[in-house]
Structure 1
Amino acid sequence: MFIQLNSHTIEKLEKSLGERPGYFKLFFDTEGCGCNGMIVIQVISEPHATDIEVQKEPFTFFVDRQQESLFDEQMRLEADENYPSFRLSSDSSLLGSNIRVKDIR
């Protein structure tokens, strides 16, 4: 899996980490959203046993092994210029818009 990040996205993700160490996890959250679920970018301190590393640079990203099939092999993560959200897309589909970062460290 490869997640393409532009410079603005890298800058916003760096701000999400702050001064504390952490990793990013693409997570399809169905908890309490009252819908079919939505993608969230979690900031985690350590991966779970079921998480797999999908990218190392410029940030380490993880995905839960059971959710890996929900994501495409090559994707683009783009930060919104005027709003604290992201958009995840691939050549074949829009996987999510208005994606938020949730720090659970």
Structure 2
Amino acid sequence: MNISFTDKAIKQLTPILTETGRMLKLKYDTDGCGCLVSGVISLWLVDQADDDDIVVETNFVPVLLEKSRLVFYDDTMAIDVVEGTGCFQLKSPGQILNPRMTLIEVSEQHER
């Protein structure tokens, strides 16, 4: 799996990651979606990896993904900034996986 960050995304995320010392996680979130295949990919800011997480090296910082949810991701993806919104976008060469991802600060209690 290849995940890259655009220069704009790196510029926006660098101060946040430096200040918090936390990690980025792409989370396939199914809360309130009805079923497993109706989830949405979210960008989380977390303190530590969960047992099911794998680490994917990128052109910026390593990103955590749930091993059991890899089927919902494309082999090549990019994280970009949606201008003027404060949101990020997850896209691949064939599709946009999430056009507006907010950076969600997740507490340890919410992760579990």
Q: Which runs of 5+ in 2 are unaligned?
A: 108-112
Q: Indicate if the aligned counterparts of 1:39 and 1:96 stay in contact, CA closer than 8 A.
A: yes
Pairing partner for 1:88 from 87, 90, 98:
90
What are the superposed Cα offsets for residues 37-86 of structure 1, whole Å, 9 maximum, x if unpaired?
Answer: 22111111110111000125411101001111111111111111200111
Q: Which runs of 5+ in 1 are unaligned?
A: none
Alignment length, in residue pairs? 105
TM-score by length of 2: 0.83
Q: Indicate if the aligned counterparts of 1:16 and 1:101 stay in contact, CA closer than 8 A.
A: no
Greater helix share, structure number:
2
Counting aligned pairs with the same residue, the percent is: 25
One-letter code aligned to 1:79: V
Q: Name the SS of the counterpart of 1:19 in structure 2.
A: helix
CA 52–76 in structure 1, closer or farther in 2 if over 3 Å, else same: same
Structure 2 CA distance for aligned equivalents of residues 92 and 27 of structure 1: 20
TM-score by length of 1: 0.87
Pairing partner for 1:60 from 41, 59, 62:
62
Q: Name the SS of the counterpart of 1:59 in structure 2.
A: coil
